[in-house]
């Protein structure tokens, strides 16, 4: 049924044809269809330039509204619902967190917590996973669509405050949440039915995890992508160790270490999305997908490509990161965070100086484990990466920096975390090795 297994490939029409995108053949062709939960916009971009934005009113207002590790970035309308016969599968009758519906030829997942930017809860994960498996086996379901309600966000990640509270209370949720979330990520990647993620609006952390591993990812001008977990004492998980090092050149390393955010067509040009469609056209796109009769993956791709061809928005603009790809490739190709920082210092350009400012605000421990995560993940399968990331998640739950990051961003909101260790020099190889240590019988297995 045109499933999602196989290597994760960069879309060939991503627009990244500049000579400035120097990369090896494996880097160019190995981004796939097979993204903790939540995101802080740390390395934010200006209208056309690069700008550091650790904290700030946009982030703070979203945190207050969402109670999740997210960022406020208002998008245009949501994908919308298509008038069609509906089989409602949610067990709740009032404001269910997730809607699971059979519509036309498809199973449709709607993340339905718009007041908290569709933050991914344990309850949502536990409803989506079994239904995904049922639809995968259902001969009348030919594709699966996932979208977010409310018009602002696809999914701004997980509820970090809940995880932090569970950590302090030494509750098992910190083990169970990551285990079940990563299991869902892998199920999406291996799903034998075409999986279409309409990533309209904020798509951060856990929201990346329930979209990036599907066969089709549709971005709009309202899409905002980021994996900024190093700013709260975590690491870019949900398979970040798999897809980030497979982006063009060293772009994924740059995104992971700085938390830089991509918006709109740049999400497509980077290879994170497979298609780009105007936000206002999503209801029509969804309607056409649902109306297909026993569609193949090729039929679905044809509809997506047809809608993409109609979009002229920002078509002639180069990617925001493209002009800096030489610097990204040269500075972020080092095998240590210390050398990356030295490369940026030696470069001395305004771009490099801005990235230095951003990186210096991140958790030193998170920076080191993230770089190793991506380096090791570049040669691992997705299940192997998720097993590795589960080990990292549990080590982070035992460490200091996650609590401190939550305090600085969510509780006291002083945006001045006191990391421990406080410097890269103090984070030893032995410390880093401990994060990657096997959990034995508690390891995540597939």
Choose, from 158, 252, 259, 399, the residue flagged as catalytic: 158
Strand partners, 111: 98, 148
Mean pLDDT throughout 134-151? 98
Query: Within a 10 A sphere around the Cβ of 232, how many other Cβ atoms?
Result: 32
Q: How confident is the model at residue 47 (pLDDT cuts 50, 70, 90)?
A: very low
pLDDT-wise least confident of 1-15, 114-128, 211-225:
1-15
Quote the pLDDT of residue 94: 66
Distance of CA 75 to the CA centre of its chain: 17
Report the candidate in 132, 147, 148, 141 with the shortest Cα–Cα distance to residue 102. Answer: 141
Q: Is 38 a catalytic residue?
A: no
Choose, from 97, 101, 221, 229, the residue flagged as catalytic: 229
Quote the pLDDT of residue 317: 85
Higher pLDDT, 280 or 8: 280
pLDDT tens, residue by residue, 367-419: 999 999 999 999 999 999 999 999 999 999 999 999 999 999 888 999 999 99
Report the candidate in 84, 80, 73, 186 with the shortest Cα–Cα distance to residue 125. Answer: 186
**What residues have CB less than 8 Å from 302, skipping those under 6 apart?**
none
Q: Is 87 a catalytic residue?
A: no
pLDDT for 21 beyond 90: no
The count of C-alpha atoms lying within 13 angstroms of the C-alpha of 404, restricted to the half-sphere facing its C-beta, is 21
pLDDT-wise least confident of 4-8, 173-177, 179-183, 256-260:
4-8
Q: How far apart are CA 146 and CA 111, in angstroms?
A: 8
The CA distances from residue 159 to 111, 124, 197, 353, 399, in Å, are 14, 12, 21, 33, 19
Q: How far apart are CA 381 and CA 107, in angstroms?
A: 27
| Residue 379 exposed, middle or buried by CB count within 10 Å (0-12, 13-18, 19+) | exposed
Specify the DSSP element, H or E, that contains 88.
strand 86-88
pLDDT tens, residue by residue, 164-187: 888 888 888 899 999 999 999 999
Q: What percent of the chain has pLDDT over 90?
A: 72
The domain defined by 25-442 folds into 2-enoyl-CoA Hydratase; Chain A, domain 1 (3.90.226)
**Domain extents for the chain?**
25-442
Q: Is 158 a catalytic residue?
A: yes
Extract the tokens encoding 168.
């302090």
Q: How confident is the model at residue 58 (pLDDT cuts 50, 70, 90)?
A: very low
Q: How confident is the model at residue 8 (pLDDT cuts 50, 70, 90)?
A: low
pLDDT for 46 beyond 80: no
Q: Is 75 a catalytic residue?
A: no
pLDDT for 10 beyond 60: no
Choose, from 97, 136, 181, 237, the residue flagged as catalytic: 237
pLDDT for 253 beyond 70: yes
Sign of the Cα pseudo-torsion (41, 397, 243, 35, in order)? negative
| Residues 12/14/18/24 CA torsion (nearest 10 deg) | -50
Quote the pLDDT of residue 103: 98
Choose, from 206, 240, 271, 405, the residue flagged as catalytic: 206
Q: How far apart are CA 55 and CA 406, in angstroms?
A: 12
pLDDT for 56 beyond 60: no
């Amino acid at each position: 049924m045109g499933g999602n297994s196989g290597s994760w490939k960069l879309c060939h029409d991503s627009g990244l044809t500049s000579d400035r995108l120097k990369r090896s053949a494996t880097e160019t062709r190995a981004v796939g269809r097979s993204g903790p939960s939540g995101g802080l916009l740390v390395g934010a971009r200006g209208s056309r330039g690069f700008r550091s934005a650790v904290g700030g009113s946009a982030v703070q207002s979203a945190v207050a509204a969402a109670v999740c590790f997210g960022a406020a970035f208002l998008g245009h309308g949501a994908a919308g619902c298509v008038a069609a016969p509906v089989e409602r599968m949610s067990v709740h009758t009032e404001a269910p967190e997730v809607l699971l519906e059979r519509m036309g030829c498809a199973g449709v997942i709607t993340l339905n917590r718009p007041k908290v930017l569709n933050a991914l809860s344990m309850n949502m994960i536990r409803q989506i996973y079994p239904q995904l498996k049922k639809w995968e086996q259902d001969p009348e379901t030919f594709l699966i669509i996932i979208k977010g309600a409310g018009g602002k966000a696809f999914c701004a990640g997980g509820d970090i405050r809940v995880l932090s509270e569970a950590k302090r209370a030494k509750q098992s949720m910190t083990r169970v949440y990551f285990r079940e979330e990563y299991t869902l990520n892998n199920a999406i990647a291996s799903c034998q039915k075409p999986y279409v993620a309409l990533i309209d609006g904020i798509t951060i952390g856990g929201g990346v995890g329930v979209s990036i591993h599907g066969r089709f990812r549709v971005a709009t001008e309202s899409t905002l992508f980021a994996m900024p977990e190093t700013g709260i004492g975590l690491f870019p998980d949900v398979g970040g160790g798999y897809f980030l090092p497979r982006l063009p050149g060293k772009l994924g390393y740059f995104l992971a270490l700085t938390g830089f955010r991509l918006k709109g067509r740049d999400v497509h040009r980077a290879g994170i999305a497979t298609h780009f469609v105007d936000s206002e056209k999503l209801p029509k796109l969804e309607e056409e997908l649902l109306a297909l009769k026993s569609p193949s993956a090729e039929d679905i791709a044809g509809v997506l490509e047809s809608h993409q061809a109609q979009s002229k928005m920002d078509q002639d603009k180069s990617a925001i990161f493209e002009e800096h790809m030489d610097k990204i490739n040269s500075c972020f190709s080092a095998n240590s965070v210390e050398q990356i920082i030295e490369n940026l210092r030696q470069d001395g350009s305004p771009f490099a100086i801005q990235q230095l400012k951003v990186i210096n605000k991140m958790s030193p421990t998170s920076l080191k484990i993230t770089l190793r995560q991506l380096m090791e993940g570049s040669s691992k399968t997705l299940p192997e990466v998720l097993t590795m990331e589960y080990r990292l998640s549990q080590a982070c739950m035992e460490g200091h920096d996650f609590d401190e990051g939550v305090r600085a961003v969510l509780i006291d909101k002083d945006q001045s975390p006191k990391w421990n260790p406080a410097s890269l020099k103090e984070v030893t190889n032995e410390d880093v090795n401990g994060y990657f240590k096997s959990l034995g019988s508690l390891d995540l297995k597939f």
